[in-house]
Structure 1
Amino acid sequence: MTLRISAVVERWPVNGHFTIARGAKKFVDLLVVVVSDGTRIGYGEGTAIYYSGETAEKCLGQVERVIDELEAHSVSMAREILQSLLPSGAARNALDCALWDLEAKQTGRALWELVGMRLPPLPLETAFTISLGTPDAMLADARSAAKNGYSLLKLKLNGDADRDRVAAVRAGARDARIIVDANESWGAVDIAAEAEALKHLGVAMIEQPLPAGQDAALANISSPLPIFADESCHAAQDVPRLVGLYQGVNIKLDKAGGLTEALALRQAAQSAKMQVMVGCMLSTSLAIQPAFLVAQSADWVDLDGPVLLANDRPGGFSFANGCLSPA
């Protein structure tokens, strides 16, 4: 049974503002892949890993270059070939997830069954992202998030007066659990001292303090808080070199290159006794569907991508009381 594959780039506006250490975004371009067997249709979505040099247009080109080769195979064979045909990244993610979706529809099984889960997925508490801003702006955003039921907040930091920002968020959401994401910006920061100060402000975890490639410096740092790898961890093969430097990894399907590799990465991290966080890029619920399954056994969940956009796809996830649930 031959396949038919197509892909497009869609532009989605951000809800208000989204700012991290690398800059601000007003919209996100999403790669959407459609795979059909003539009767059923599978869908996948990817967001370019921009810090790796990806763009939605480049990812679209990657997909278009492999269409002819993949269309000649069955859905399961196409997915297997895809793993070596494209590198990890948003293009492979969108294709991989579309192939998984089609295979589930062909077999008449739910995707959670197809990936080996014994029980249907359960609603999950998700972090809500507080964009980088002035302490006053972040306090206001934290207060709003708390009023909307979010009790786990993820703060974007940049290595400059971060303690003031965290203190402001704590004032705005006194009962919330807080995790922080430095997005590689703490190269000039005393990480141990910063972690100690943030611990007293109720922070529970630090994500990617140093630039990827400078991870070895963490071996000489005694942090009172667990440190998770994000930009430093894309695929299962990264885990061995991160053991002893990080206490956990952030799995994103766009980094991993799809559901197939994300599942392998989760297994590798758990086998190495590392904690697991499942995160996302700015995205609609289409991209969250497979990530939601990977997150079922995660220690931390950060799948708020759709609520950071002005709108979501019809029939997307429900976000209520700090939890996400299938519609």
Structure 2
Amino acid sequence: MSAAVMPRAGTARLSLHMAIEPLPLKTPFRISGHAFTAMPALDVVLDDGGHRGRGEAAGVYYLGDTPQAMWRTLEHHREALESGLDRDALQALLPAGGARNAVDCALWELQALRAGTSVAALAGTAPPRPLTTTFTIGADDPATVARRARDWTDARALKLKLDGEVDVDIERIRALRAARPEVWFGVDANQGYAPATIEPLLRALSDAGASLLEQPFARGREADLDGIDVAIDIAADESIQDLAELEARARHFDVVNIKLDKCGGLTEALAMERRARRLGLKVMVGNMLGSSLAAAPAFVLGQRCDLVDLDGPTFIARDRVPGVRYVDGAIDCPHRVWGGMPCA
């Protein structure tokens, strides 16, 4: 075993348990270039004989980071993972991505349970409060977009997925705003646009009073944004996966969407939030759909964020029990869902 993953003296060994959950969706979910009917996830449990830490990761589908690939990665490193490594050693052992995310979240919960406290307290976050979250509407026909916007009766913020068909996307934007003239809303282009097609979309967003445009151009084409006159905030999703990419690409964006599956867990996500602030960016927390077990660690990060997009469990046909709660357009995560016990 390398020095980087050597357990500290006296550290208890762990047992690693894994399972793949199919997580079918209630209805198909459409974005630019994809239609999802399920979002399978890898469940990880780390057991020290007295406490069990849990984590869930869907991975990053557009990078080939699947639950099956994550399973193989963790199986390959089983000896190191069961040695009793801590989160710092995990950062050295595994790269960013779903495998590290699942284990990192399990280690956070395990540490909190051992200490009789909460992950939020360990992370230096104030006692968690409910957070206004966006609720996402897929890239459906404009009539369906309008209907789903009205169905989210409690929503105070909506996010609309686009698919790059500019005329239809503009009609979707108009339909959402007509249905819900009072809500904050943003759009997620999921890399569906290019400089040659973006201008009509920008005009439509301005006319509709949109507040955010997420990932308009393809990953790797960030410099194309520099010549675009944009009156609303531009957010990076696919373009910025982890801390290293934040350093390299922050200058092209106003907002960074931090997802634990992308960056490899809550440990790196918290570091990204701190660095993004120093770089002058706003911070958003997002999810790759997923159940309440995935939303709960992101909820801890969300306490520090400007924008929260944690509606993933609302898409799952059968969520975890107990699970997160959605009330008055906000997400709340009781401590019994994940994350140890609240401080005394």
TM-score (norm 2): 0.91
SS in 1 for 2:268: helix
Q: Which residue identity is paired with 2:185? A: I
- Which residues of 2 match residues 1-327 of structure 1 at below 5 A? 1-73=12-84, 77-117=85-125, 119-145=126-152, 147=153, 149-160=154-165, 161=167, 162-187=169-194, 189-327=196-334
Q: Distance in 2 between matches of 1:227 and 1:258?
A: 24
Q: 2:283 touches 2:306 (CA, 8 Å); kept in 1?
A: yes
Structure 2 vs 1, CA of residues 93 and 23 (structure 1 numbering), >3 Å: closer, same or farther? same
Within 1, Cα distance between the matches of 2:195 and 2:229? 16
Instruction: Tell me, yes or no, if the aligned pair for 1:205 and 1:227 is still in contact at 8 Å.
Output: yes
Structure 2 counterpart of 1:32, one-letter code: D
Question: SS of the residue aligned with 1:93?
Answer: helix
Verify the 8 A CA contact 2:195 2:228 in the aligned structure 1: no
CA contact (8 A) 1:253 1:291 kept: yes
SS in 2 for 1:213: coil
Is the 2:58–2:261 Cα contact (8 Å) retained in structure 1? yes
Q: Whole-Å Cα distance in 2 between the matches of residues 41 and 244 of structure 1?
A: 41
Supply the RMSD in Å over aligned alpha carbons.
Answer: 1.2
1:126 and 1:302 in contact (8 A); partners too: yes
Structure 1 residues 193 and 241 mapped into 2: Cα distance closer, same or farther (>3 Å)?
farther
1:243 Cα deviation (Å)? 3.0
- CA-CA distance at 1:189 after TM superposition: 4.4
Contact map agreement 1:7 1:64 (CA 8 A) in 2: no
Once the two structures are superposed, residues 211-243 of structure 1 have per-residue CA deviations (whole angstroms, 9 ceiling, x without a partner) of 010001111112111100000111112223223
Could you tell me which amino acid in structure 1 is paired with residue 274 of structure 2?
Q
Amino acid at match of 2:158: L
TM-score by length of 1: 0.95
SS of residue in 2 equivalent to 1:155: strand
% identical equivalent positions:
39
Residue pair 1:236, 1:269 contacting (<8 A) in 2 also: no
SS in 1 for 2:30: strand
**Aligned-pair distance for 1:193?**
4.5
Q: Which residues of structure 1 form unaligned runs of 5+? A: none
> Could you give the per-residue CA deviations for residues 162-216 of structure 1, whole angstroms, max 9, x where no partner exists?
1111001112212111100000000264434522321211210100000010001
Q: CA deviation at 1:284?
A: 0.7
SS for the counterpart of 1:203 is: coil
For 1:188 and 1:51, locate their aligned partners in 2 and report how far apart those are by CA, in whole Å: 22
User: How many pairs are equivalent?
Assistant: 321
Distance 1:243 1:281 in 2: 21
Is the contact between residue 289 and residue 313 of structure 2 (CA under 8 Å) also seen in structure 1? yes
Find the aligned partners of 2:314 and 2:257 in 1 and give their Cα distance.
Answer: 20
Cα shift at 1:49: 0.5
